[in-house]
């Protein structure tokens, strides 16, 4: 053991091997070494093998932690490039997904929908509905709900996220809430942004994207109309939308188009002919408490952690029973 410790220190100091490789080697060494000790030295006598069993459990636990963390997969990818603002660095922005209430969103092999929340005392629980999609048929294979929650700290008044997990034999799907609307937000807020774009360009909005496919041209009497033909991609669904700009007696008159039950408005403002560009504004209405920002991670082989913990507890229990028996024998003498 001393030789291994010295060799390990040298390997780490000179960066010959990574800490992950060294820990994995140590775990396998502990696992195989203690198994061999039970078989060859203790001759399979489990009543006196508590220490070795506990070490085997710890080795399995360590292997589970290493494999699970090394191969974890974040499936809540921010594919639309939405900026979440303060509190989210570049990495966190990429690894969290925005879910509007009752709007399904694709996420890895799942379709997820934020169904709503409920508050009891200091705990707010969120219902997230998962639909597992079969890759071959594209149909829903099975469904389940997860219930991550936020707990309000009495002293600091900060919200502490607590995850919920879907357990499989080979992996766990870990889900937790990263952000929710501020309580002091207005019941409804409108956000208008002006964009200068060309045909084929994409406008990123909070719920999805708008793609300017083409500009249509219409003529009726003295009226010339240009129509900005968009495809809105929101919650995995495509919706056509055309905002129009009328030119009547050299006057510009806009005809906005509303989608998503009027919560998103596209307005065709002007044309820049020398650059073949177009000025368009988007207005979004976001209702209070109708969204969450969520992170979901798949941890493979995480069950090794729980199995290792159980084996380690069994080892402690065997050792405890042995110590009790030895104390009784000593007392009897």
CA–CA separation, 3 and 119 (whole Å): 57
Instruction: Please give the backbone phi and psi of residue 292, each rounded to the nearest 5 degrees, phi first.
Output: -140, 155
* 294 and 167 inside one domain: yes
* 272 and 328 inside one domain: no
**Residue 276 — pLDDT band, cuts 50, 70, 90?**
very high
* 108 and 94 inside one domain: yes
* 296 and 153 inside one domain: yes
Helix (H, G, I), strand (E, B) or coil at 71: coil
* 107 and 87 inside one domain: yes
Range of the domain at 248: 188-286
Ranges 48-62, 151-165, 258-272, 319-333: which has the least confidence: 319-333
**For residue 8, what are the contacts with CB-CB under 8 A and spacing of at least 6?**
22, 26
Name the residue among 68, 66, 62, 71 with its Cα closest to residue 20: 66
Instruction: Please give the backbone phi and psi of residue 27, each rounded to the nearest 5 degrees, phi first.
Output: -65, -45
What digits encode the pLDDT tens for the residues 35-56? 888 888 887 787 888 888 888 8
What digits encode the pLDDT tens for the residues 72-114? 899 999 887 778 877 888 999 999 999 988 888 889 899 999 9
* 202 and 319 inside one domain: no
* 90 and 180 inside one domain: yes
CA–CA separation, 173 and 186 (whole Å): 34
The pLDDT of residue 132 is: 93
Look at the chain and count its residues.
333
The pLDDT of residue 249 is: 84
- Tell me which of 139 and 86 has the higher pLDDT: 139
Evaluate whether 252 touches 239 at the Cβ level (below 8 Å): no
Averaged pLDDT for residues 239-268: 91
Q: Write down the pTM of the prediction.
A: 0.61
* 91 and 137 inside one domain: yes
CA–CA separation, 69 and 78 (whole Å): 21
* 294 and 178 inside one domain: yes
Handedness of CA 81, 86, 91, 96 (dihedral sign): negative
Name the residue among 184, 187, 164, 186 with its Cα closest to residue 176: 164
* 270 and 307 inside one domain: no
Q: How many domains does the chain have?
A: 3
* 204 and 265 inside one domain: yes
* 172 and 83 inside one domain: yes
Evaluate whether 115 touches 121 at the Cβ level (below 8 Å): no
Residue 120, pLDDT > 70, answer: yes
Describe the crossing of helices 50-70 and 303-332 by its angle, rounded to 10 degrees: 160
What digits encode the pLDDT tens for the residues 217-226? 999 888 899 9
């Amino acid at each position: 053991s001393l030789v291994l410790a010295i060799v390990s220190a040298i390997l780490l100091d000179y960066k010959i091997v990574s800490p992950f490789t060294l820990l994995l080697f140590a775990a396998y060494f502990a696992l195989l070494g203690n198994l061999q000790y039970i078989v060859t030295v203790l001759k399979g006598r489990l009543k006196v093998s508590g220490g070795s069993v506990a070490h085997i459990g710890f080795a399995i636990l360590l292997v589970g932690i290493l494999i699970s963390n090394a191969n974890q997969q974040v499936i809540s990818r921010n594919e639309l490039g939405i900026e979440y603002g303060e509190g989210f660095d570049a990495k966190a922005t990429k690894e969290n997904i925005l879910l509007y209430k009752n709007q399904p969103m694709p996420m890895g092999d799942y379709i997820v929908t934020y169904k709503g929340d409920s508050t009891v005392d200091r705990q707010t629980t969120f219902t997230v509905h998962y639909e597992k999609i079969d890759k071959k048929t594209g149909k829903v294979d099975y469904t389940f709900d997860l219930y991550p929650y936020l707990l309000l700290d009495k002293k600091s008044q900060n919200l502490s996220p607590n995850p919920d997990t879907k357990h499989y034999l080979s992996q766990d799907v870990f889900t937790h809430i990263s952000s929710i609307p501020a309580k002091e937000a207005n019941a409804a807020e409108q956000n208008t942004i002006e964009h200068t774009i060309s045909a084929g360009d994409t406008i990123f909005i909070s719920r999805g994207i708008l793609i300017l496919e083409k500009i249509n041209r219409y003529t009726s009497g003295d009226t010339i109309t240009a129509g900005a033909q968009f495809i809105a991609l929101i919650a995995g669904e495509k919706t056509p939308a055309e905002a129009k700009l009328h030119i009547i007696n050299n006057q510009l008159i806009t005809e906005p188009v509303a989608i998503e039950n009027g919560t998103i408005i596209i307005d065709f403002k002007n044309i820049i002919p020398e650059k073949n560009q177009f000025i368009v504004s988007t207005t979004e209405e976001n209702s209070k408490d109708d969204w969450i920002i969520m992170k979901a991670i798949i941890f493979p082989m995480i069950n090794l952690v729980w199995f290792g913990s159980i084996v380690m507890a069994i080892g402690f229990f065997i050792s405890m029973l042995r110590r009790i028996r030895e104390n009784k024998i000593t007392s009897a003498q």
